[in-house]
A and B are shown apart, each in its own frame.
Chain A
Amino acid sequence: KAGVTQTPRYLIKTRGQQVTLSCSPISGHRSVSWYQQTPGQGLQFLFEYFSETQRNKGNFPGRFSGRQFSNSRSEMNVSTLELGDSALYLCASSSSGRVDEQYFGPGTRLTVT
């Protein structure tokens, strides 16, 4: 069974631009969560989707948004990029409705200049 895939793997953007990251979960997994990982803040929860519905959201500004499609693939969007948005963005999928053990993708490394 294929693992969680994330595209692109690396991205360089300029302040003020917007970016869209994509995540394809493991086949059959309906829950997708997004995290931001930085050396200073560690792993911070962005949001979680299950069957196209956002069930939980972390403490991030409205510039960060996401969605999930009927095939469980998910995208996250960051508008008006800031230097502080430079991070590794990780997507994880889970088979259970409760968000139990998660399977992570390799991440998208976003650099904002």
Chain B
Amino acid sequence: GDSVTQMEGPVTLSEEAFLTINCTYTATGYPSLFWYVQYPGEGLQLLLKATKADDKGSNKGFEATYRKETTSFHLEKGSVQVSDSAVYFCALSGEGFKTIFGAGTRLFVKA
């Protein structure tokens, strides 16, 4: 079945460092891919999405490119801030009316 694998955390960075969180997927067909973010005590929020191969999703300085050849959707940000500290989830929406989430990667950003 469909699955999402993302790098384990926690990831600890200093402010203004470069961020990469790796995500790979297994799916039949042509899924849509997402990154969601969860701040403490809150539900998930959609961060960005891509619906077809080579699409780049971007929002709030975060970017991710849908790479079908490597089945990947890595999240990147050029300069992280303390306020980016949260848990990040990679997800896919394919067949069967459900979204599959990765395990989540916790990010800590130090001032």
Is A48 part of the contact surface with B, judged by Cβ < 8 Å?
yes
Known contacts A43-B89, A43-B104, A100-B32; is-contact A106 B43 (Cβ 8 Å): yes
Q: Which residues of A contact B97 (CB under 8 A)?
A: 31, 48, 50, 55-56, 98-99
The docked-state distance in angstroms from the alpha carbon of A106 to that of B103 is: 19
The docked-state distance in angstroms from the alpha carbon of A90 to that of B87 is: 15
Q: Is the interface of B mostly helix, strand, loop or mixed?
A: strand
The reply to whether B99 and A45 form a contact with Cβ atoms under 8 Å apart is yes
Q: Which residues of B contact A45 (CB under 8 A)?
A: 98-100
Q: Could you tell me the distance in whole angstroms from the C-beta of B53 to the nearest C-beta in chain A? A: 17
The docked-state distance in angstroms from the alpha carbon of A56 to that of B94 is: 13
Number of interface residues of B (CB under 8 A): 22
Is A107 part of the contact surface with B, judged by Cβ < 8 Å?
yes
A residues 45-103 in Cβ contact with B at 8 Å: 45, 48, 50, 55-56, 58, 90, 92, 98-103
Closest to A4 in B: B43
The docked-state distance in angstroms from the alpha carbon of A99 to that of B43 is: 18
The reply to whether A98 and B93 form a contact with Cβ atoms under 8 Å apart is yes
Q: Which residues of A contact B45 (CB under 8 A)?
A: 104
Is A25 part of the contact surface with B, judged by Cβ < 8 Å?
no
The reply to whether B96 and A101 form a contact with Cβ atoms under 8 Å apart is no
The docked-state distance in angstroms from the alpha carbon of A98 to that of B101 is: 16
Per-residue B-contact encoding for A28-56, CB less than 8 Å = 1, 0 else: 00010101000000110100101000011
**What would 6 A/B residue contacts be, using CB atoms closer than 8 Å?**
A31-B97, A43-B89, A45-B98, A58-B98, A90-B44, A92-B43
Please report A residues at the B interface, Cβ cutoff 8 Å: 4, 31, 33, 35, 42-43, 45, 48, 50, 55-56, 58, 90, 92, 98-107
Please report B residues at the A interface, Cβ cutoff 8 Å: 32, 34, 36, 41-46, 49, 51, 89, 93, 96-104
